[in-house]
């Protein structure tokens, strides 16, 4: 690998990271604004037009606030936890493709790395992500944090299973673990009109994936780890300043990852109608991808504005007694249909 | 490059393993164990066994260790109390460990001739190939293991059930 190519790759990583962090910052603005309008309020309006500079103001505020470390904490783990949460949240984007394969000087423009096991990589990084929350809850040495951490770990173990089972149907259809290959298997349209997206043959799997992904990212109606009325703020109760912000960023980055995965696995990724001049055609896939991800982010906020929180036993019963059996049934049915079709 | 990474991760694995024994708080020991497993996964990855590496992270470092940590947190286990170590362990422990290690090394070295040792990228990890082997060549062991695990699950449920 020559030096210019290496520099090019590094520049690509920096650009992707910058776009990602900006998106995370504006996802917060988007959620506050949308939530406000759904509740007949205005939301942020003071900083910039429509409050558009609010994320920047928030970042400056969080960076300059006093960083309080309570005296009873287990210091090393307490300091490690927010880093663990944020790093695992950002790491998934190393394998997420956001556009068709476009090689420039031997470097793929629209993906950082096309791993053969891309999907498993995202799942494994997700399974490591729970440590950030659990260790934060434990090391804070406070009962609210501990309860939040416990709930978070139990919830994530339970719903990880459902996520894993619900994506196997997609794997059976595409025959690959590479995210790019999965998206490419969804190109084109059946009978000229219906896109070959996995959501149509795998609508049960899609439903399971969506519910489990919302639970996995600790969002309403599954936000028990940080239920304000019972636990103050759950696992990050004792964190302040930038460490608190890191948990916040990790949560929104996880939401983005889940939205990206739903788009890639079930909604055909960047595939969509292409038209116009060549320059427009080169950019349109990125637009379709962003639009689909945006729809899922909208859904997240919509659910938060609409649904009340589950009770803890309901959450566990729903995961184990409904979601896992349904995902398993979908898996058996899919493999049966494919076996009959192929044989 | 690979050689350097091998020594980094091998040293990390051994370091975490020693730390696992040295730590007095169960959570710190559990964290060290996660470190050991993650380092091992990196070593698998360098051998080219991508699927095994990721399975190691998902199953061991992810699922099983989360349960460990969960139980430690739930029981609120405190730092362990140490008794005075036995005199035999204090004087003979380290030499005996060295004897054991050198015995294992000698046996491995005799069993596996140096030119047939595994090299980096030896197992180009085709996930599909692993599946094919598992369901054609090793079907019986695979099914026997799954029945064993099923029995273990049922046993756990029976043991955990409240007596009525």
A106-119: pLDDT as tens digits: 777 777 777 778 88
The reported pLDDT for the residue numbered B56 is 87
| Half-sphere exposure (Cβ direction) of B100: Cα atoms closer than 13 Å | 6
* Helices marked H in chain B: 2-22, 26-47, 50-55, 65-75, 87-111, 127-136, 139-160
Distance from CA of B136 to the nearest CA of A (A): 16
The reported pLDDT for the residue numbered B148 is 95
Of A128, A150, A177, the CB nearest to B57: A128
The reported pLDDT for the residue numbered B113 is 67
Q: In residues, how long is chain B?
A: 164
Over residues A11-34, mean pLDDT: 88
Residue A329 binned pLDDT confidence (cut-offs 50, 70, 90): very high
Taking CA A306 as the corner, what is the angle to CA A305 and CA A312, rounded to the nearest 5 degrees?
100
Please identify which residue in the block is written with the tokens 């759904």: A38
Tell me how far apart the alpha carbons of residues B11 and B5 are, in angstroms, rounded to a whole number: 10
Over residues A318-332, mean pLDDT: 90
Cβ of B63 within 8 Å of Cβ of A146? The answer is: no
Cβ of B73 within 8 Å of Cβ of A134? The answer is: yes
Is B119's pLDDT higher than 70? no
Structure token pair of residue A317: 């019963």
Q: Give the residue on B whose Cα is nearest the Cα of A157.
A: B63
Q: Give the residue on B whose Cα is nearest the Cα of A158.
A: B63
The reported pLDDT for the residue numbered A84 is 87
Model confidence, pTM: 0.84
Q: Give the residue on B whose Cα is nearest the Cα of A146.
A: B73
Is B146's pLDDT higher than 80? yes
Of A120, A130, A175, the CB nearest to B66: A130
Q: DSSP characters for A184-210?
A: HTT-SEETTTEE--TTTTTHHHHHHHH
Of A77, A124, A137, the CB nearest to B62: A124
Tell whether ipTM is more than 0.90.
no
Structure token pair of residue A78: 């307490």
The reported pLDDT for the residue numbered B118 is 66
The reported pLDDT for the residue numbered B154 is 93
Mean pLDDT of all residues belonging to chain A? 84
Q: What is the largest CA-CA distance in chain B?
A: 63
Q: Could you report the per-residue pLDDT of A181-240, keeping only the tens digit for each?
A: 888 888 877 777 778 788 888 888 899 999 999 888 888 788 777 777 777 777 777 787
Cβ of B73 within 8 Å of Cβ of A74? The answer is: no
| Half-sphere exposure (Cβ direction) of A148: Cα atoms closer than 13 Å | 29
Cβ of B54 within 8 Å of Cβ of A120? The answer is: yes
């Amino acid at each position: 690998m020559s030096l210019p190519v290496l520099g090019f790759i590094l520049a690509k990583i920096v650009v992707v990271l910058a776009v990602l962090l900006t998106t995370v910052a504006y996802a917060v603005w988007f959620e506050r604004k949308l939530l406000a309008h759904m509740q007949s309020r205005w939301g942020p309006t003071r900083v910039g037009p429509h409050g558009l500079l609010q994320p920047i103001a928030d970042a400056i505020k969080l960076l300059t606030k006093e960083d309080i470390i309570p005296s009873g904490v287990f210091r090393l783990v307490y300091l490690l936890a927010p880093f663990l949460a944020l790093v695992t949240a950002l790491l998934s984007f190393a394998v997420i493709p956001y556009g068709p394969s476009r090689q420039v000087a031997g470097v793929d423009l629209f993906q950082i790395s096309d791993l053969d096991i891309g999907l498993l990589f995202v799942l494994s990084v997700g399974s490591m992500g729970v440590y950030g929350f659990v260790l934060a809850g434990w090391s804070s040495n406070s009962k609210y944090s501990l309860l939040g951490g416990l709930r978070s770990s139990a919830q994530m173990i339970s719903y990880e299973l459902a996520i894993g089972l619900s994506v196997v149907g997609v794997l059976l259809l595409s025959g690959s673990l590479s995210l790019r290959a999965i998206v490419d298997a969804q190109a084109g349209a059946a009978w000229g009109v219906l896109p070959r997206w996995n959501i149509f043959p795998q609508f049960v799997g899609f439903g399971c994936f969506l519910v489990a992904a919302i639970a996995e990212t600790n969002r309403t109606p599954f936000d028990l780890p940080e239920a304000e009325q019972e636990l103050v703020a759950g696992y990050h109760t004792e964190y302040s300043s930038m460490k608190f912000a890191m948990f916040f960023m990790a949560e929104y980055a996880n939401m983005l990852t889940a939205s990206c995965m739903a788009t890639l696995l079930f909604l055909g990724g960047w595939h969509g109608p292409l038209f116009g001049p060549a320059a427009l055609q080169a950019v349109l896939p990125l637009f379709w991808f962003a639009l689909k991800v945006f729809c899922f982010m909208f859904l997240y906020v919509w659910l938060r504005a609409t649904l009340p929180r589950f009770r803890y036993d309901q959450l566990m019963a729903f995961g184990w007694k409904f979601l896992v059996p349904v995902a398993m049934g979908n898996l058996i049915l899919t493999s049966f249909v494919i076996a009959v079709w192929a044989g | 490059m690979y050689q350097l990474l091998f020594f980094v991760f091998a040293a990390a694995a051994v370091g975490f393993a020693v730390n696992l024994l040295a730590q007095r708080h169960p959570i710190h020991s559990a964290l060290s164990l996660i470190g050991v497993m993650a380092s091992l996964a990196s070593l698998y990855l360098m051998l080219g066994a991508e699927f095994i590496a990721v399975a190691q992270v998902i199953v061991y470092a992810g699922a099983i260790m989360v349960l460990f940590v969960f139980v430690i947190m739930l029981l609120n286990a405190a730092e362990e109390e140490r008794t005075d170590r036995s005199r035999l362990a204090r004087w003979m422990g380290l030499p005996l460990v060295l004897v054991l290690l050198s015995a294992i090394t000698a046996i491995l070295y005799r069993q596996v001739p140096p030119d047939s040792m595994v090299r980096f990228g030896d197992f180009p990890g085709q996930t599909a190939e692993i599946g094919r082997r598992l369901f054609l060549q090793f079907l019986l062991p695979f099914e026997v293991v799954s029945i064993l695990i099923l029995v273990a699950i049922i046993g756990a449920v029976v043991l955990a059930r409240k007596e009525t």
